Chain A
Amino acid sequence: MENQFFLNAGIPTPAPPLHFGPCLSSPKSAWQSLSSAMEIHATELNCSPDQSQDCFLNPNWEKSPDYGLQFNSALSSMVSSPAASNSNISNESFMIRELIGKLGSIGNSGEISPHSLPLLASYINGNNSTNTSCYSTPLNSPPKLNLPMMDSLVQQKLPSLGKSMGLNSSVAEFSADPGFAERAAKFSCFGSRSFNGRTSEFGLNNNNEISAYRCNPLTANAKLPRVSSSPSLKAMGSKVGAVQGSNKSSPLQDRSELANPQEESTVSEQNPNGDPGFKASKDSNSRKRKAIPKAKTKETSASPSANAAKVSEANGESNEKRTESTESNGNENGFVKAEEDAKLGINGNAGDEKQNKTKPPEPHKDYIHVRARRGQATDSHSLAERVRREKISERMKFLQDLVPGCNKVTGKALMLDEIINYVQSLQRQVEVLSMKLASVNTRLDFNVDNLMSKDIFQSNNTLPHPIFPIDSSASAFFGHQPRQNPALHCNISNGTMTQCSVDPLDALICPNLNTHLPPINQFTETAPQYQTLYEGDLQTIVQMGFGQNPSQEMALQSENFLGSNQVSHMKLSSNNHSLVLD
């Protein structure tokens, strides 16, 4: 594979492969697996950035000890070998360059390419953080901020390498090597086209680490599938986040969060001067999907600082990713836009020159002043529409908190689904409970309400807000049908509404039925004279479902209640009997 690799690139295999032969045989398989894994990942670009990044990085880390050891031994053998005379240094440096270039080229979608040098250091260190900090330097930027760190690390850990073989020098040689860029570019048969773009720029811009990233969108133009570049940029974003602070990296990778106030804060922190074009690119992102690369290129070329470029790309990509994901979920554009715009509008950074939607602070105005954002339509209809959309999205957020299980759902349609289900289930619960109460109490008398009210509000706190206990109680009502006498089914024919409403719960009821039947059977046999079948069943189920302890206070009133019950006892039992048997 190695030879193939080199042949494809049109480069002769290194002259003395003796040092590297044994060392590289094991990494060869590792590289093969890496490349295959990478190709798989390159094709399945729907996996989340987190996932993809992990997939990309994890194989690296699994193989890293091998690499570290192998390369350490290789390098040290090179250094310490007596044959490492000046005449051979060029060869060795060439080999090192090839190695590192290969490492870099195998880097899928360009993530590992800048990893290669810091990876060497980090393999030795086993330290992930240095990896991320060193990430920002491409191979060809010699005396930049992270390289000295790496140098120190390298010198700490590889004293045998000596200063002459310091990676710094090799990096300097990289930059000086004119053919390196071509070779690295040719190595990109493994990587995505974004990497191609990136590496092709390495030779051009030696001292500017920014441009390596900046030129990425320039070369990776519209034909590049956006999603393929996004994992790399997500990684970039994550690295940037790691550099900036741990709390900011998570929002960049958090797809479920549609817009990131923290992301905004990173932008604001890094762009204190304000970057109107950058913000506009974000807005235009939300509007026009096709124009996103162009917008990015415009903005990234305009931005002076490296951080801005990185963050813009990361943000732009995350925006893209977000819009893509949400649109693939079948959302309307407006909603995504509204959410993004809402979030962007809400944050309203101080240094922002972006035209935010401003709610006027003066309350005496009757209407809301809305400013059109750059790149968006300015007619009153669309403005009003946008206001309306933002209101809706705000309220949907409240609903998300209210409805359980809505947090993971993104998108209007799905959330509306959840809301509908929840409202329907609540209404059904009301029905079931009213039926239950009707059956329990024949005369609709709740004489003990004074005492009960205390108990109720105490127990209200302890009661969970469940669906299943209600289902279990519903099973007591309606779950016995198949077993018992079907002839009495017509008694509750008028209650078909409630029955039908409970039918969807049957799926939930079924697991509960089996647990409930045995105690009920027991109870039917040993039903005391005083208690009806139904009450006993309900009692067991209630106890199982609610797990409440009978209160002592109720004992006082219970006699009173039971006294009143005795009169209607026969009626109660007959009524309940018909109910149970149905």
Chain B
Amino acid sequence: MRPPSLLKQEFLKKWIMGLQRCSSTKKNMNILERKKAIKLSADVAMASSRNGTTCWSRALIANASKDGNDKHLVEQILGPESERLIVKKVSIGALVCNKRIRSKKILKRSCGIRRTRKCVPQVALASSIAKWLVRKRTQVLKSLIPGGEFMNEVCLIKETLDYIISLRAQVDVMRSLASASEQVNHS
């Protein structure tokens, strides 16, 4: 893994670039628009630092570029790689994932039908409760991680790891930038 300072520098560069492009397009933004632009550019910068290696970054970029307004911004931030990142991998990934989801649903339905015929004892075993708990939480985690619905458990945890690291770097950079600008404003 790259050292975190390198990651942060890269993130900051891309982020500020995106922000500048944002401000050049729109002159007067209210606070919410600004916030959105800041967050979007931060997220995209974060995701692009991964260079499409991780699933969540691809999904994040895909989600960002779905909206027409933001697509330009995304493309600007990503630069020349934008086509590579957005068009090819994401679409294919989405297709594959949709297929997987559909097949899983079919399988679950068939298994469920089979199970209802068996007389499963209704005793709530600790293990089954535990499994249910884990499944619930996995679902929540999938909703949190961008593009998480398409992953199986193994990948999900790996992606979570990566996502946590990048989120942490993002938060650190943003916080320090905010505090630095505060100091600048104050003094």
Contact call A438/B176, Cβ cutoff below 8 A: no
Select from chain B the residue with minimum beta-carbon distance to A399: B161
Say yes or no: B153 contacts A392, CB within 8 Å: yes
| A539 and B160 contact, Cβ closer than 8 Å, known pairs A459-B176, A546-B179 | no
Inter-chain CA distance A396–B160, complex, in Å, is: 10
Q: Roughly how many angstroms separate A548 CA and B177 CA in the complex, as a whole number?
A: 13
Taking a contact as CB atoms under 8 Å apart, the answer to whether B12 and A431 are in contact is no
A398 sits at the interface (CB 8 A): yes
Q: A430-B167, A441-B181, A445-B20 are in contact. Are A332 and B175 (CB under 8 A)?
A: no
Q: Given known contacts A332-B134, A413-B130, A531-B186, is B179 in contact with A437 (CB within 8 Å)?
A: no
Of B22, B131, B187, which one neighbours A444 at CB under 8 angstroms? B22
Interface residues on A, range: 35 or more
Most buried by B among A391, A457, A495: A457
User: Is the Cβ of A535 less than 8 Å from the Cβ of B175?
Assistant: no
Q: Determine whether the beta carbon of A446 is less than 8 Å from that of B177.
A: yes
> What B residues does A459 contact at CB under 8 A?
176, 179-180
Contact residues of A: prevailing secondary structure: helix
For A433, what are the chain B residues with a Cβ–Cβ distance below 8 Å?
171, 174-175, 178
A498–B20 Cα distance when bound, in Å, is 24
Query: With contacts A437-B178, A446-B16, A446-B19 known, is A403 near B167, CB below 8 A?
Result: no
Which of chain B's residues have a CB closer than 8 A to the CB of A561? 184-185
Q: Mark B22-34, 1 if CB is under 8 A from A, else 0.
A: 1100000111101
Contacts of A539-582 to chain B: CB distance below 8 A? 539, 542, 546, 548, 550-551, 554-555, 557-558, 561-562, 565, 575, 579
Partner of B129, one of A330, A427, A441, A557: A330
Question: Smallest distance from the beta carbon of B17 to chain A beta carbons, Å?
Answer: 10
B29 cross-chain contacts in A, Cβ below 8 A: 444
Tell yes or no: A452 within 8 A of B by CB.
yes
B-chain residues with CB within 8 Å of residue A335 when the two chains form the complex: 130, 134
Q: Are the C-beta atoms of A437 and B171 separated by less than 8 Å?
A: no
Contact A535–B186 (Cβ < 8 Å): yes
Least CB distance from A405 to B in Å reads 13
User: B133-145 CB contact bits vs A (8 Å, 1 = yes)?
Assistant: 1100110110011
Question: A470–B175 Cα gap in the complex (Å)?
Answer: 9
Residues of B within 8 A of A (CB): 5, 8-9, 12, 16, 19-20, 22-23, 29-32, 34-35, 37-39, 42-43, 126-127, 129-131, 133-134, 137-138, 140-141, 144-145, 153-154, 157-158, 160-161, 163-165, 167-168, 170-187
Q: List 26 A-B contacts (CB under 8 A).
A: A327-B130, A392-B154, A395-B154, A413-B134, A420-B141, A424-B144, A433-B174, A434-B35, A435-B31, A435-B35, A436-B178, A437-B177, A437-B178, A437-B181, A438-B31, A438-B38, A442-B34, A444-B19, A446-B181, A453-B9, A455-B176, A457-B9, A465-B172, A531-B186, A555-B187, A561-B185
